Amino acid sequence: MDAADISQDLTRVLFTKEQVAQRIAEIAAEIDEEYAGKDLLIIGVLNGAVMVVADLLRAMKVHCEMDWMAISSYGSGTQSSGVVRILKDLNTDIHGRHVLVVEDIIDTGLTLSYLVSNLRSREPASLEIMTLLRKPEAAENAVDVKWVGFDIPNEFVVGYGLDYAGRYRNLADIGLLAPHVYS
């Protein structure tokens, strides 16, 4: 679906699908340069990062493998609780591998903070982060993020993998959710 299909649920479109594709292409080119000649493993964080991983990998020219983790913060709604648990671990041993974690959004940064320390303990050769979106509060849980698609305001965003109560992930654009939907 496009933003026009659910315009009553959105305050406005933050990024069109064309803007997202353009930014992902730019980052893919930088990733190609960074990992040229290296054995790269992409780790996508389910569920939100599915779209980013799918589009980023197809925009990249270097070879890579793909694996997935599912991490959940307890609770639901629009706030991160800060307590995380692994719902699905990797199938791959990352010891000695060049690892790039791909996220859809860093909000408080708590999920990523946990994930990075967990993955570092498995002793990868390198560990970098790419996120499509980052909110201001992420600075409070400073994790070194190598590639950020867009820094965004502290508002509730949906689309391109990002959900509210499980919906809107299949919105092709990224939009600000209208308060009447979640209040």
52 binds ligand PRP (CB under 6 A): no
Helices (H), 76-175: 110-120
Stretch that binds ligand PRP, among 1-9, 22-30, 46-54, 89-97 (CB under 6 A): 46-54
Closest contact distance (angstroms) between CB of 99 and ligand PRP is: 16
Shorter beta-carbon distance to ligand PRP: residue 100 or 105: 105
92 is a site residue for ligand PRP (CB under 6 A): no
Q: Using an 8 Å Cβ cutoff, are 160 and 14 in contact?
A: no
Question: Can you tell me whether residue 21 is helix, strand or coil?
Answer: helix
Whole-angstrom distance, CA of residue 175 vs CA of residue 66: 28
Site for ligand PRP in 117-176 (CB under 6 A): 163
Tokens, residue 109 = 């940064």
Q: Rounded to whole angstroms, how far apart are CA atoms 102 and 56?
A: 9
Binding-site residue total for ligand PRP (CB under 6 A)?
A: 18
Residue pair 83/109 in contact by the 8 Å Cβ criterion: no
* Candidate list 9, 55, 104, 107, residue with the active-site label: 107
Using CB under 6 A, which of the segments 2-10, 60-68, 99-107, 121-129 binds ligand PRP?
Answer: 99-107
Q: Give the count of alpha carbons within 13 A of 42, CB side only.
A: 25
Instruction: State which of residues 3, 31, 110, 171 lies at the interface with ligand PRP (CB under 6 A).
Output: 110
Q: Is 106 in the site for ligand PRP (CB under 6 A)?
A: yes
CB 161 within 8 A of CB 104: yes
Q: Which stretches of the chain bind ligand PRP, using CB under 6 A? A: 45-48, 72-73, 80, 103-112, 163
